[in-house]
Every structure is written in C-alpha cells, then in structure tokens.
C-alpha cells in the first residue's frame, strides 16, 4: 500500500484518543499498546517476533534517520500490529541504509503513525497500564473504533507463538562442537548468531515439537527462545520442557524463561505495562554486578510461586524487583528474563551464554 501521509487516529480501550499522520501502510489494526525506551535499533524492534499482538510506541522522538537494511532484521518479517512515533525522519543517512522506515512499513503492510505526543501516550500507559488499542487511517469515528477495540481479544490466554514459530525444522548453520536444538517460540536471529559464535551447531524446531522428537535429534543442549504473549497459553511447550528436565542442559530467554518457570511448578502473571527497551538495570545476585539490559516482555514469573528448595534466584530487576533470572539447584537448567544477545541494546549480559556452554561441556565429558 502506498503512503499518502493521510490522517491517522489512535483510540485506547479507556477512550483516550491521539491523532497523527500515516507514514506506513493504510488500514486498521488492533493490539495492545506498549512503549519502547530504546534510543536506537528501531529496525530490530520492528522485526522482533515478541511484538506479535502489540502496537509499539517509541519514546525516543526521532525515528528513521539511518534507514533500514537487510542485515539488521531479527526475523523473516514484521510481526507487530502497528508503530507509533513522534517524528518520522523524511530522509535517512547511513552507509548501510537501503530504504526508509516508511518504505519498510509499507512493504510489510504495517501501519505507522507519526505526529503523536508519545510522551503523553507513554505517561498514560505508565499510569493506566498497557491496554487494547486500535489504530486506523480509514475510520475516524471514535465510538465506532471504541466498539472495535473493546470487541478485540487481549493478550492473556491467547496463543501468539503459533503465528511466529517456524513451520518446519531447519539448520541455522552446519558445524559446531555442541549441537543445540532451539525451540522457536519467536526466536531472534542474533540469539542464533551468538550460539554459532560459541561453537554450536544450531537446529531450530517448531514450538510444537515434542520432547521425544527433540531427543531424537541427539542434542547436547536445548535452548528455549523468546516469543510473544502469555506463557500460560502455550501448554504444549511447557509439557515438552517438563519431559526434558534432567535429560539435557536447558537455557531459556524471555518467554523461554517464563515457560521454564511454569515447568518448575511456578506461576506467571502480567505486568502493568511491561519491560520494553534497552535501559533496564538488572542485578546479578551472585556477583553483585549490575547490567544494563535489553528487554521485551509483558509477563513475568512470580518469585513467590517457585520452590526455594529446587530453584535459586540469580537476577532481579532493580526498577520493580521482578524476577530476571533463575537456576535449578540440581539440574543444569537456568534462564533469564532479559536479552543477553541485545540487538538492539547494550551488550553487558552476553557473558550469560557461557553457563549454557559450560553445562553442555560437562555433559559431554560425562558421556
């Protein structure tokens, strides 16, 4: 759809209205609105499968100034439901840039809205919480849009993983000392790149792959990826992980962390407005080290629901004291809520891939 820079409107579930101009595809879309605090990396945000079901508002006021390029895409397509910015740069200037953000949104049929007071929108979300929202470049009747957004389905209990996972098993690379099976709940490509850098041969499998089929691949370890939505809505992944516990080293990130929490017998819940962006402080309880981390999630694992006899808490979020990392006390299984692979975001936490490698190394020696 060609961009004609026409009027666009945003209507939140509670009746709050914001107006702007279209700079992406024309049309209408519903999703849960969230804000992202990253200063750069908008292409990685756009292509993160974890944003399936969500409309993303960027708090940084100028977006699009360095364009987009094929190398920085974190997945095969754009999965988010819409994109909101204060100002979309009319031009882009970067030696790696191949096209504009506006062209990128148009090609992928994603609505983009600019000219919005994103500071006011972010403050409203912080106070009221993330909520269902509709964005439109076609219908400007507020009562009509409000009916549509209230009739739409929220994130709780909705399986969004099915819409982002790979349709079939594939090999990311063809060599490596350690064979790793990645359960794709919406995996970012930089996670696969980091595993490859650590001398891993990576095989990616669909989210509904059973434990038996994973074991048939004879991996040295299993990685549980990030992904969108409610972890309680993907019981098939939780069931597979329960069967794998004690048989292989397991490492989970983001949704993978939440799935492990459920497999451990814990509970998950929904945050008021989630953690989205590249400036979240997390404390490593073992070393006392504080990392500035990249995050993207709306759900969390309830610390109080985990059995202290079985699970050790390793990381805490310093903004709200929510759980950011855990490790099984007897099994070679651990997980973190944030993104050590960054893309975008700081690289403070990349060292956390090492524990997974060491666990696989120990298992290999035992065999």
Percent of the chain at pLDDT above 90? Answer: 95
pTM: 0.95
3-state helix, strand, coil in the chain (%, to 5): 25, 30, 40
Q: Is the pLDDT of residue 365 over 80?
A: no
Domain ranges in the chain with CATH number 3.40.50.880? 161-366
The DSSP letter of residue 196 is H
Asked if pLDDT for residue 313 goes beyond 90, the answer is yes
Tell me: pLDDT of 4 over 80.
Answer: no
Q: Under a CB-based contact definition with an 8 Å cutoff, are residues 51 and 45 in contact?
A: yes
Q: Residue 67: left (phi > 0), alpha (psi -120 to 50), or beta?
A: left
pLDDT at residue 1, as a whole number:
40
**What's the confidence (pLDDT) of residue 345?**
84
* Contact of 203 with 181, CB cutoff 8 Å: yes
Rounded (10°) angle between helices 255-263 and 235-244: 70
The verdict on whether 341 is a catalytic residue reads yes
Start-end of CATH 3.50.30.20 domains in the chain: 7-151
- Domain 161-366 indexed as CATH 1.10.10.10: no
User: Residue 69 pLDDT more than 90?
Assistant: yes
Calculate the average pLDDT of the chain. Answer: 96
Q: pLDDT digit string (tens) for 242-252?
A: 999 999 999 99
Q: Assess whether 312 carries a catalytic annotation.
A: no
Q: Which CATH fold topology does 7-151 show?
A: Glucose Oxidase; domain 1 (3.50.30)
From the list 254, 275, 297, 324, the catalytic residue is: 254
Asked whether the predicted pLDDT for residue 201 surpasses 70, the reply is yes
- 269-294 pLDDT per residue, tens: 999 999 999 999 999 999 999 999 99
In this predicted structure, the answer to whether residue 367 has a pLDDT above a threshold of 80 is no
Pairing mode of beta strands 28-36, 54-58 = parallel
């Amino acid at each position: 759809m060609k961009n004609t820079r026409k009027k666009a409107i945003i209507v939140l579930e509670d009746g709050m209205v914001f107006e702007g101009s279209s700079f992406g595809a024309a049309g209408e879309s519903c999703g849960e609105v969230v804000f992202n605090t990253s200063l750069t990396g908008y292409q990685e945000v756009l292509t993160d499968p974890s944003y399936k079901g969500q409309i993303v508002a960027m708090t940084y006021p100028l977006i699009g100034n360095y364009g987009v390029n094929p190398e920085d895409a974190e997945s095969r397509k754009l999965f988010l439901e819409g994109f909101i910015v204060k100002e979309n740069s009319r031009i882009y200037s970067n030696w790696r840039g191949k096209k504009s953000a506006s062209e990128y949104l148009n090609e992928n049929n994603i609505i983009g809205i600019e000219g919005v007071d994103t500071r006011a929108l972010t403050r409203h979300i912080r106070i009221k919480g993330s909520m269902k929202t509709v964005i439109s470049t076609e219908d400007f009747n507020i009562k009509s849009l409000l009916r549509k957004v209230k009739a739409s389905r929220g994130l709780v209990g909705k399986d969004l993983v099915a819409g982002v996972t790979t349709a079939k098993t594939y090999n990311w690379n063809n060599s490596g000392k350690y064979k790793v099976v990645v359960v794709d709940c919406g995996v970012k490509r930089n996670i696969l790149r980091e595993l490859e850098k650590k001398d891993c041969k990576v095989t990616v499998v669909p989210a509904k792959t059973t434990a038996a089929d994973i074991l048939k691949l004879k991996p040295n370890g299993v990685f549980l990826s990030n992904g969108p939505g409610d972890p309680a809505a993907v019981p098939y992944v939780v069931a597979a992980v329960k069967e794998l516990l004690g048989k292989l080293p397991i490492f989970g990130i983001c949704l993978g962390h939440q799935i492990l929490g459920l497999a451990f017998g814990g509970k998950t819940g929904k945050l008021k407005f989630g953690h989205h962006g590249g400036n979240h402080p997390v404390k490593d309880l073992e070393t006392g080290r504080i990392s500035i981390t990249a995050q993207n999630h709306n759900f969390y694992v309830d610390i109080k629901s985990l059995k202290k006899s079985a699970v050790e808490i390793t990381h805490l979020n310093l903004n709200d004291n929510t759980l950011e990392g855990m490790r099984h006390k007897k099994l070679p299984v651990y997980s973190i809520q944030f993104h050590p692979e960054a893309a975008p975001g700081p690289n403070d936490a990349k060292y956390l891939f090492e524990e997974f490698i060491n666990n696989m190394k120990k298992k290999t020696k035992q065999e």
